[in-house]
Structure 1
Amino acid sequence: MSNDANARLPYRPCAGVMLVNRDGKVFVGQRIDTILEAWQMPQGGIDPGEDAYAAAVRELGEETGISPDKVELVAEASDDFFYDLPDDMVGKVWKGKWRGQRQRWFLFRFLGEDADVRIDTPHPEFRAWRWSDPDDLPTLIVPFKRDLYTAVLAAFRPQLGADQTG
């Protein structure tokens, strides 16, 4: 598909979660469907009629097994973030319906223990997970999402410096 055709495609509405533990580290998972060493935060599509917050909580549960009672909302980004798929991926993912994603991001504090993280969900998306330093996020993600992760990190920077013990 040409760049002009790509530009006419809409963005897929999504929600993303930056989950921070008591030590100020951020949850990242390694996608099960790629051999790349890339790590990402939980995120996924917003279903028709679903609001972004509900989608964020649902996606967090679907991807990490973490139940809603184990998290606390700290902040919601004031703006949506966008990324475009590389040209060679448009038409191959999401049945060719989207050019990239429009994401609404939420910062959650993790109230549980590591044992509450269960990536062996009914439809697993991650093959491994770990807690990472927030500043490492842009270097962990696939290159085409690097600017998005830098922007998300900047949006939540004020809260990341706060006392994480609550």
Structure 2
Amino acid sequence: MAKIKRIITTLLRLLVLCAALSATIVMVTSRDSAEVLNLSFDAKYTNARAFVYFAITNAIASGYSFIALFLSFSTPLWHLVFLLDVFMTLLLTSSISAALAIADVGKKGNSHAGWLPVCGQVPEFCDHVTGALIAGFSAAVLYLVLLLFSIHAVLNPKP
């Protein structure tokens, strides 16, 4: 049974690593430019602080997941890993929420605030952001599953 727990945990961490790393890469490479009324502008992820937060959070989650792959289950650090799993789940959830809010404004605009939608002018940028958000949401859900599995493993430590 202990071997099955290790395999499942390792598989989940690998999936989280892939999802968070792909979300980071796709968000960082999102860029498009457009010309509106003879004015040229660039759309890139650094224009919105929520997208920067999203990219940094997914990069941190990728690095942490990579390091956690090499930690042994029998070390006293495993309880610290459990606490860091809780922290990563919360961090990823908050970053996806912030990025989704900004993406929604970019796609639909906000008529009450006078913000126009920009996805009609920079569709390549919006497609990249959508892909990054899907990968980031996958990473957050996988971390939640990993957290639930870790809770089960901590509360039921039978080998």
Larger radius of gyration, structure 1 or 2? 2
Length-normalised TM-score, structure 1: 0.25
Length-normalised TM-score, structure 2: 0.25
Q: Is the strand fraction higher in 1 or 2?
A: 1
